[in-house]
Chain A
Amino acid sequence: DTEVTQTPKHLVMGMTNKKSLKCEQHMGHRAMYWYKQKAKKPPELMFVYSYEKLSINESVPSRFSPECPNSSLLNLHLHALQPEDSALYLCASSQEGGSQETQYFGPGTRLLVL
């Protein structure tokens, strides 16, 4: 199984809502990533978890809150988002988060904030 799955596929939320994005992989990978991708732009890294510990936070606003409950799951909790946060949110995983590792991406969640 070389698949990274993400739910939901699409999400529409208001600025006062609280929602969560979920990501799951069963490849035994110990590093998981959240990326944000705006239209016609490359993915931008948000967070990296390595062995279930947050290792990189790319100065992401606190209205985005990542959580890694176990080595297979990665969540992104959303609260009080702004319309400019509308984007495709991609999850990826790799072996250990070290060098020369391929990152495998999930299909993404397309988020619209109204």
Chain B
Amino acid sequence: EDKVVQSPLSLVVHEGDTVTLNCSYEVTNFRSLLWYKQEKKAPTFLFMLTSSGIEKKSGRLSSILDKKELFSILNITATQTGDSAVYLCAVEATGAQKLVFGQGTRLTINP
């Protein structure tokens, strides 16, 4: 059965800190891994990763995939209170036409 595991489940840091969120997966015929940020309502798309070792970057957020070790990390530098959210990792398998989500990491940034 396809499985996505995120860690930690919850993280509380101070504004300005750097955080690393982890996502490991076991998926038959892996296609892509996606990161989403979810605040009050719908998840908003952050990154899609398909190739190993290539970092995707958007402002203070970056992510990288390791297809050999079957994991991805999401880094957030110089965190701000607006980064407080649940970060979801999801994996797509070939031909599966669906995303398998991890449990999410609840990130809280204190001022």
Contacts and interface: CB of A to CB of B under 8 A. Distances in A.
A45 interface: yes
Interface residues on A, range: 20 to 34
Nearest to B47: A102
Nearest to B34: A102
Interface residues on B, range: 20 to 34
A25 interface: no
A42 B42 contact: no
B31 A99 contact: yes
A48 B98 contact: yes
Identify whether the interface residues of B are mostly helix, strand, loop, or mixed. strand
A23 B43 CA distance: 16
A55 B95 CA distance: 11
Given A42-B102, A42-B103, A102-B48, A97 B97 contact: yes
B68 interface: no
A107 B42 contact: yes
Contacts of B34: 102-103
Contacts of A104: 45
Interface centre among A43, A44, A107 (most CB of B within 10 A): A43
Contact of B94 (A40, A99, A106): A99
A56 B43 contact: no
A74 interface: no
Interface of A: 31, 33, 40-45, 48, 50, 55-56, 58, 88, 90, 97-100, 102-108
The 3 closest A-B pairs by CB, nearest first: A42-B101, A105-B42, A99-B31
